[in-house]
Structures are given as C-alpha cells and as structure tokens.
Amino acid sequence: MPKPLDIERLKKIEKRIHEIAQEWGFLTTDIQFEIVGAQKMLEGMAYMFPVNFSHWSFGRDYEMHRTVYDHTGSGIPYETVWNFTPPVALLVETNPFALNTIIIGHVYAHVDFFLASKFLQLGRFFSDIADETYYAAERFREYEVQYGKDEVEKTIDAGMAIWWQQHPDLFFEEELDEDIARDRLLTTEREKARPGKDVASQFKQGGLEDEVLRRKLRFLAERVPPEPIYDLLGYIARYSPLLKSWQKDILSVMRNQARSLAPQRKTKLLNEGWATYWHVRFMRRLFEEGLLTAEEHGIYNDFHAGVTRENKVGFNWYRIGLALFEYIEEKYNKGRFGREYEACEDPVKKAYWDTHAMKGREKIFHVRSFYSDRMAIEEFFTDEFIHQMQLYIWEAYVDEKSGETTYYIAEKDPAVIRRMLTRSHTLYGIEPIVIQNANHNRSGHLYLNHLNTDVELDPKRRDGTLFHIFTLWGKPVSLETNIDDKRVVCSFDGKKPEVKPKPKI
Amino acid sequence: MSIFVPEPTSERGRGDAKRHRDKQKEVLKENLPKVIAEESIITGGQGKVKIPIRRLSIPDFRPGKSDGGDVGVGQGDGAEGEILGKRPGKGKPGQAGEEPGEDYIDTEIEIAEILELMFEDLGLPSLEEKQVKELVVELGWKIRGTSKSGPWPLLNTKRTVQEGMKRFWFLFEALKSETGIGELICFSALKKADGIFSEALLLLQNAVLLPIETEVVPFPILHTDDLRFHNIQPDVQYQSQAVVIAMMDVSGSMSQEKKYLARSMLFWLVRFLEKIYEKVVIRFIIHHTNAKNVEEDVFFKTGESGGTYCYTAYELAGSLIDTEYPPAQWNVYAWHFSDGEDFSTDRTVEELKKLFARKINMFGYGELRVGETWRLLHSLSDSELFTAFSKAFAVEKTEVDGVRVMTGTDEPLLGIVITRKEHIFPAIKQFLKKDRWMTHA
C-alpha cells in the first residue's frame, strides 16, 4: 500500500524548489499544482487540456494510458503542465513522494521555459485557451443535444484531419480576410509599378509593362484567396458555403487549440531536455539539504533511469535533450566555439581544448529562450555529439511470407543522421499544403497545393483527409501532390477518390 | 505556491473510450467474414481471444509510401547492419484487418462479443434460452419446501419445533405484560399449564404461585397451526442439452485446408449452441471406407488414402444416437464435412433418411471444395453427394454471398458448399437462421 501523500511536506518542498529556482535565475510565477487521482492525470494526458470537449480519439488515448497504468501500477512518471496564465500542473496523489518531488522540479523548469521561450510566449498569445476550452466543452455538449452527437462528431473528425495544417512560420500571421489581403496586394503591386525618381524608371513608359501590370492586377482582383493560405481550418471555417455557425464555432475552437499547442511541438526536445536537466539538479540539491531521505533518493534514481532509458528504435526526448544541454554547457565552459576552435584541424588539440571560458550556464539559458528544436539540431548535433549519443538510423524490413518485421541499424554516418533530423524538424511532420484556389473550375471547388515536391503522402490517409475536407467544404476538393516523382492531382467529389496526372498548361 | 486538491470530477474518458470501442466494433462487423476465419480464434479456445483490430485514427496529410518500410532514429551500441529486434507478423497478409499504413493493436475480444455481432448482423435479437426446445426429464419425487398440512410421516419436526418455540416466546411475553408478574413466576405458570395460555393466566390470577422453576428454559408449544410438513413434488428437470455429431471424410482428397474450414465451422456452430443450450457435447466420427468414433485431435489430424463410403459414418451416427443420445432427451445436430465424393450415394441417402426418422434437429452437410476456385463458381459442378441429396429430398437451392445453399423443405436438411475461408461466415449465417436450429421444436 502506498503511503498517503504528505501534502504539508510537499508544500514545504515546493516552496524550497521555488526559492532554488529563483536563485538559479529561473523565470517563475505562481504555479497551480492540483493534487488529483490517477484518472484525472490520465485524462489530462489524453485530452490535451485539463478539460476539453468530448471525442472518441481522446477516449481511445485515455483507455490506452489507463491500460498501461493498470498493468504497471508503479506510479505515473509523467508530468502534465499547461502553458496557461497561470500555469497548471497535475500531481498524482498515489505517486511516491519522491516522484512528486521530481515532477515539481521538472514543472518549474518547464514553466521557466514557457515564460522565456520566444516560441512558447507565442503559444499564450492567441487566446486564453484555458478558459476558452473550458467553456467550449460546455457549448459542444449543448450542440450535441441540439444537433445530434453524430453531427458534432463528424465536424470534429473533419477538423482533426487538418487542424495541424498551419503556416510553417509560427510568427507569420496570415490574413484570412480576403478583402484586406487583396487590397494589400494590389497596393503593393501598384507601388512597385509607380515610376521612381531614378533615371532608369524615367525612360520606362507605357507599352508592354503597362499591359503586364494590368493583367497582374486583374488576376489579383479575381483570385480567391488572393494569396495561398496555409491555415486550412481558419479559411474553411470562415468561407465554407456549407457550415452552420455552430460548426464554425467548433472549428475555430479547434483551430485555436492547435495553434496554441503548435509552439510546443517545435520545442519539445529543448523543453523536455531543459526540464530533465534541471530536475536532476533540483533533486541533487534537495538531497544535499537533507530534505529527501536516502530511500527517496533511491526511488528518484529508479524513475529517472526509467525516463531517460536508451531507446533502440525511437528518439527519447528526455535522454537526448538532457545530454544536449550538458553538451552545450561543457562546450561553452571550455570555450569550444568561435572561429579559432572551428578552424583548428588537430583532433588531439581539439579533444583537450579548454579555455576556461565558463560560458556554459549563460549559453544554455540563451538556447532555452531563442532556439527551436531545429535550430538546436543544426547547431549542436555535431559529429561529436552524435557519436557520443550513439545515434543511428534504423530501418524495418517486413518479411512478406511470415509478416515478421525485422529492425536493423541502417546508417551511422553523422551527416546523414543530422540531415534526417533536421529534415523532420523543419516541418515537424506537417506537410506544407496551401489553399491555392477556392474557386477552382470557377465552381467554388477547392484546390490545394502540396508544396514539397519530393515528398509523397500516405495515399490512404491522403484520401481520407480529402474526404473530411469535402464534408466541411461541400464541394469537390483537389490536391496537387507527388506520386512516383510526378505531379498528380488527387480529388474527391463526394463519391470516390480519383488520381490523375497534373494537366499541362 | 499553490498546491491544492481540486473537486473530483466525473470520469470523462470512459464514455469517450466506449465510443471508440463501438466504432471499432463497427469496423469489426464489416470485417466479420475475415475475423471469424482467424486462426487465432479457433486455436485460442473459448473466452477471450486476441485479434488484430485497427486502432482507429483520424487521417491527415502525412508522408509515407504505402509499400515503404519504417525508418527512424534510434540510440545504442551496434554496428551498421546489426539486427535490433524482431516483431512477429500480425497474421498473414490478407487476413483480418491487414492493410498497410494503419495502426493495429491486438485487442482482446470475447468470443461472446463476436457472436453478438454476428447476431446483430443477422438481425437476430440477443438469444434467450427460452427459445429452445426444453426437454422434460422425470426423475421421481423430490422434497421441495414445506406446507401446513400433510401425512404424519412427512412431518418436518425441525420446522415444527421452530414454530413451537416461536409460540412459546410469544405466549411468555404476553403473559408477562398481561399480568405484570416477574418472569420466573410466569414461566412456572406456563410450564404448569402445559403451555395452555388461558390456564396459565388463570393460575396467575387466582393463586399465589411461587417460582418453582429457577431459570427460564423455553419449550415448544405446539398448536395445529404450527405443524409443518415436507412438501413433495414430482421431480422433473428441464434439460437443455445438445449433441453435435461431427462427421468428416478423411480420405485422400481431404486436404489440411479443407479440414481447417471444417474446424472453423464446427467451432462457431458449437459456440452458438453453447449459447442456447446448457450443455453441449461433441462427438467425432471419421470415415473413409469405414467409420469410427474418435477423439477431437484425431478427428482433425487423421489423413488416410483410399475411397469413400459416407453411409458408414451415418450408420455409426445413428447407433450413437440410439445408444447415447436419444432425441427425446437430446437435441441432436449432425454435421457431415466432405468434399462431395461418395462411392455409394444410394446407401448414403438411405442412411440419411434413417437419421431423419430418428427426429434429429438438423442434418448439416458442409461440402468443402477448396482448391477448385480456379473455376468460376457457376461452373463448379455439383458433387456426387450434393446431386444425390438434392434428388432424394425435396430441396430449395439458392446462392447467398457466393455460397451455394441447399435447404430441405420437408426434412431439416442444410447443405452448404464452401470454397474459401470467407465463406465460413455466410455459411454459419445460414445455419443460424432461426427456422433451422429451431427445427421441429
């Protein structure tokens, strides 16, 4: 039987962690720690927010977490903390004291990251997502009563198919209002065409140039949307001729949720690495101060080892992120940066390089404020680090006869590994797809363009997504993409999906 | 600095998880023909089985070629080419739910749940045992409960004394409250009056009694009302029991694949019967040129060469029914699996008529024609047995979901031609049709 959680002691230790955090230069605020049962924690993990609307996919994940929990039963070694104002974190009442202590330290580091990272600052910027989600859950329940559970589910299903489709640059705000966007573009074009004061412009008069401009302006005036739009959900919710206002409400809530979470997807490695790096130091400190017993320190060691276990066929964010910050710290403490170091070609000299620069601490705080995962990978996943981490690329081979899958190490070249990681962290699994034309064939058909010309989409999922977009748009939907290195147009008209080569213009 | 315990909330996840399970079931239902032919089910036995079910997910635009293998970044010791691990296949390609690009999880599902889905698919309501013929077996007499009258030999002394004791306490208490006299004196009076209340009351009212007794020792006071007799009733048992007599041709022409189909069919038939009967027994008979009773494992494993006399099996089934499973006490389902070859159809038909004369519930004939699928179904000619049966008995021939079906109009005869795994489900559906297993109930 686990001992009942000593809340008073936990409060004391949280206070101490807060003090240490300030001493270390963390940005911090009043964090709300809720002590909850395992069920609420598991729900929090599955529903993305403390309270969220009802959907079977959340239920599916909840059941999965629940099964794992029921079968291991050794506590929940995860933290759940939301980038709200103020931040909210969950502690499980049945977790051992030491585990909850690690989690408090871990959460303090996450909160520092939330407050400092330029990306996560943005995550809080869109809306007060905590309140919005809370009230949306209530509204959606009313919609279920009023319009039917199935109808609501259909809308959410469709929204989920495209809710991560956003502008690749988080900081870029797309103009969804067509009139404003068009005006802006027309003005720019006209400005560009206005004769300047320089000599060359004085001589450019009339004729061909004017005709080009006129055509350009006419094209812009007719084009819908005036500029390609990445924000599929935002555009469709706004301009779909089909959607009722309650459906638009559902979609815009979902859009806000996805937008507020997107920055976390782009900083997951750094954020988890940061939290792990610091929970190690919090625990060491608390133990030194005699606030944790030797037994509790042992429990901590076990959990920490579990969380940072090497993963042969996966990327353990906690392990690699922790090592990354330690690597950066050491590199900058020893002055292993700058032109002189980079130019040095003597491997022996480099191995013993130490200028006692002691810039490590400063550098890691800088990285947590200004870097995304991709930036960190490009800069710090050096050959040296990849070797240290023993990273490799694995591949899976499926035997056609037996159906058996074999996993093997396919590649150890650090350049290839770095390229693969950079690539997957450039788009974070979200293919750049824009609404090219919302009045395709002059009949209000939707024409999407997959801008990556060397990536092929999973055909089943692709057609499934087109189906979902069709339910939202109500008219045929086409997607220009790649199959076998050729451009094709996949479309769905409400009956069956179709693939055709892209017509030559 | 706020650590606090919030109000508990209701479990939201469970409801949504159920919705996911329901959606999975819809998918499962669509794939029933594949699912029920799963080898893991038949070998897994009763109760729960593990079958690969798609973990439903919302599609999105995601890179991936349908034929591409997985790839990713991992960590650890090892040189290029080193094998990291293996994962066994989830069934052979083409089996239930094996589609590329989807996530699968092995989900445990109860056989009963699959049966429910099959009934739903058939539009049958959940079955209750009542719908089945119950057989009344007389076992003599049986004591059941008590009554207030009866012959003396059936006096239930224990219950009678219990009632008498109750009456003692009732009278004793009444005496005390009526007279207001102490309990030892009341008890003495009651004892002296032999338990007769009015006499005891008189004694107490008219005489001064000394407490003769030193403690209250209750004794039963019996009125006619207190007598209890054993009640006896004729002892009958409503038995719902069934026997499946499984017969199989094990001559050279019966391949392993055909036997697998027979096994799968039998598995589901028995599971179904178990649902509606309390007790189901299976007996196995194999035959080629002669027939014998065997154990289950022998039934499915034996392979012999040589010719085929089907009547020998029917004959043996007949004597098994006569000696061990009289239809007055048993619901008898006889099933014969064969590839349609028979060297003496006349005698076979004759023996089958004898089986029908024994009033069995059903005779099922499962004809396994695997390996002949290269022919178009309509050109698959009727076998010797199929032809013989359809000539000898009044039958209707139909084709349902690609399965050739023969239904007896006068006799409880059902013939089904199965050419591949996917036929098991429609074949069982034919069997499950109510008017078939309810035959002459």
Position with higher pLDDT, B259 vs B99: B259
CA atoms within 13 A on the CB side of A329: 14
A vs B: CB pairs below 8 A:
239
Predicted pLDDT at B91:
43
Mean pLDDT of chain A: 90
Which of A402, A316, A310, A311 is CA-nearest to residue B86? Answer: A402
Helix H or strand E encompassing A407: strand A405-411
**CA-to-CA distance for B33 and B427, rounded, in angstroms?**
10
**Please, what is the average pLDDT of chain B?**
79
Which range is least confidently modeled, A152-161, B65-74, B95-104, B125-134? Answer: B95-104
**Which residue of chain B is at minimal alpha-carbon distance from A424?**
B72
Q: What pLDDT shows up at residue A29? A: 92
Contact A398 B3 (CB under 8 A): no
Cβ pair A59:B65 closer than 8 A: no
pLDDT tens digits for range A169-183: 888 889 999 999 999
A196 vs B430, residue with greater confidence: B430
**Backbone torsions φ then ψ of A259, nearest 5 degrees:** -70, -35
- Compute the distance between CA of residue A102 and CA of residue A383 in angstroms, rounded to an integer: 32
Average pLDDT for A448-474: 93
Which residues of chain B lie closer than 8 angstroms to A33, CB-CB? 2-4
- Tokens, residue A404: 């058996």
Q: Give the per-residue SS3 of B166-234.
A: HHHHHHHHHHHHHHCCCHHHHHHHHHHCCCCHHHHHHHHHHCCCCCCCCCCCCCCCCCHHHCCEEEEEE
pLDDT at A135 over 90: yes
* Domain boundaries along the sequence of chain A: 7-117+270-307, 129-173+233-265, 178-222, 317-427, 433-501
Residue with tokens 């092995």: B106
- Residue identified by tokens 């990536």 is A455
Which A residues in the span 296-315 are in contact with B, Cβ-Cβ below 8 Å?
310-315
Query: Are the C-beta atoms of A251 and A237 separated by less than 8 Å?
Result: yes
Averaged over B268-280, what is the pLDDT?
82
Residue B437's pLDDT band (cuts 50, 70, 90): low
Whether a cis peptide bond, with omega within 30° of 0, leads into A263 is: no
pLDDT tier at B106 (50, 70, 90 boundaries)?
A: low
Put simply, whether B18 touches A (Cβ < 8 Å) is yes
Given a contact cutoff of 8 angstroms between Cβ atoms, the answer to whether A276 and A79 are in contact is no
Whole-number Å distance between alpha carbons of B290 and B310? 8
Confidence band for B92, pLDDT divided at 50, 70 and 90: very low
CB-CB under 8 Å, A389 with B75: yes
Nearest to B15 among A32, A51, A59 (CB): A59
Q: Is the pLDDT of residue A365 over 90?
A: yes
Tokens at residue B428, please? 């069982």
DSSP string across A152-206: HHHHHHHHHHHTT---SSTT------HHHHHHHHHHHHHHHHS--SSHHHHH--S
From the CA of A79, how many Å to the nearest CA of chain B? Answer: 15
Other CB atoms within 10 A of residue A79 CB: 25
Amino acid symbol at B236: V
The CATH fold assigned to B240-437 is Rossmann fold (3.40.50)
- Structure confidence at residue B234 (pLDDT): 74
Residues 26-55 of B with CB under 8 A from A: 55
The pTM score is 0.73
Name the band, by pLDDT with cuts 50, 70 and 90, for residue A195: low
Give the start-to-end residue ranges of the domains of chain B.
12-58+94-126, 146-231, 240-437
Helix or strand or coil: residue B40? helix
Residue B98 is predicted with a pLDDT of 32
* pLDDT: which is higher, A209 or A291: A291
